[in-house]
Amino acid sequence: MVLESKGEPSTDGIQNKIGIKGVSYTCNEDHKKEYVHIEVDMPPANGHLNERQRQPLLGLCKQVTTAISNGVGWEPRNDSNTDNSEHQRPNMGHIHQALVDNKHQSDSGTTPTEDDIGFSHKYLNNNANGAAVHIDIPNNANVLSSNDKIRIPQEKFKTFVALILLIVNFLITTTSLAVVHERVPDRSLYKPLPDTFLDAVPARDWALDVSEIFIIVSTNLTLLIIASHKYRFIVLRRLMFMLSLLYLLRSITMFVTVLPTSSTTYYCSPKANSTNPVLIARRVFQLFSGFGLSINGKHTFCGDYIYSGHTTILVMSYLITVEYSPRRWYILHWASWLMAAVGVLMVLIAHGHYTIDVIIAYLVTTRLFWIYHTLANNVYLKHSSSNNYLSRTWWFWMFKYFEGNINGPIPRQYDWPLPWPRRFTAAKYPNRDS
């Protein structure tokens, strides 16, 4: 900061001009005669600050101006061309210590110290009116290099816990379907409910097989992306935990409200007209062995309408692919979106679900994904408070267990998941935007 005469400052006390190496910001705290001059290495594109960017400078101007006006760090300057009684220079160590002492009093942030990344002492030649302080702002290369040094724990045991949670909730869902099958209204007595799309499009049984083929392809593609991610256990843990929540909620919605069959041609196994633990266990094993798909002939039970499991898997696969694959793989992103859209459309053409089932599945899946990643990518949201309404979700305590040691977004970095061959293990892509 250079105490020197500048042009008339703006109303908020900050004035800036473009220089060769940066932007010079001149602040006139409380419109006094002294001006604090700040030179920044990395200016905005147009050299001007918006209101949000000016706030940190306002606080810094106030702290430094207060320190200087109180005589902190000032000592006589020995210069043959100047008068010692009129010209002084600051002791930068004293002023910096004053800033450090005040950093805990500000709610807007902290003042960098010698140990912080990107901070260094640079003293500019002071002119006849004051002193200079040079503020270094690290460029993107330094930020990336510092991120590469940060160790993010994989915590494989937590991933195993998420796997157990997913298996348990999938068993709960299949158990719910095994019971609901006995409560489905008789197809000969109750017709499908009125539905705008289903009433306009005749049922095509082959369309359900097409949808499940897309599910198989998108699911394997998602697992391949996760396996190639450097933090694969974190991504896999997140996927399994979110799916476990979706399966648990689906087991409840299909159980509390049983709708008539949406298709008049889909094969439903005969009802037993009575349930017992052995019968339910057989049905659960049949559904579990077929992964809930009908293309392999395992899913022959009806009643799992609210909400669509096919839509949930297709949408979740797309979201994971876009979030954790390289940003520039646009073709993959669009292909994943196309598979999800066509797969959902095929479910409706096959009359495998009502339209409302698909809409609810999309809303629930996307909102859960976005809420979870908003919480995971912002450290301050991982703590319960009266203003953090996201912490009121019933699964927040489990989220804190899985994400407690991850501070912020995980980088988009990839490596070969196997120890062989060596020529693949040496290839790493640290650029987060690649």
Residues designated as active site: 310, 353, 357
Q: Where are the beta strands (DSSP E) in 132-171?
A: 133-135
228 and 417 in contact (C-beta within 8 Å)?
Answer: yes
Tokens representing residue 134 in the block: 């040079």
- By residue count, the chain amounts to 434
Strands 88-90 and 23-27: unpaired
Counting beta carbons within 10 angstroms of the beta carbon of residue 197, is it exposed (0 to 12), middle (13 to 18) or buried (19 or more)?
middle
Measured distance CA(343)–CA(367) in Å, rounded: 20
- Segment holding 316, helix H or strand E: helix 309-324
Measured distance CA(174)–CA(280) in Å, rounded: 9
Tokens representing residue 29 in the block: 């705290």
Give how far Cα 26 sits from Cα of 13, 37, 59, 391, Å.
8, 4, 13, 42
CB atoms within 10 A of CB 190: 12
Query: 32 Cβ partners below 8 Å, 6+ apart?
Result: 65, 69
What's the angle, vertex CA 202, arms to CA 196 and CA 303, rounded to 5? Answer: 70
- Fill in the DSSP letter of residue 411: P
- Exposure string over 28-55, b if 16+ CB within 10 A, otherwise e: bbeeeebbbbbbbeebeeeeebeeeebe
CB atoms within 10 A of CB 235: 20
Strands 74-76 and 88-90: antiparallel
399 and 372 in contact (C-beta within 8 Å)?
Answer: yes
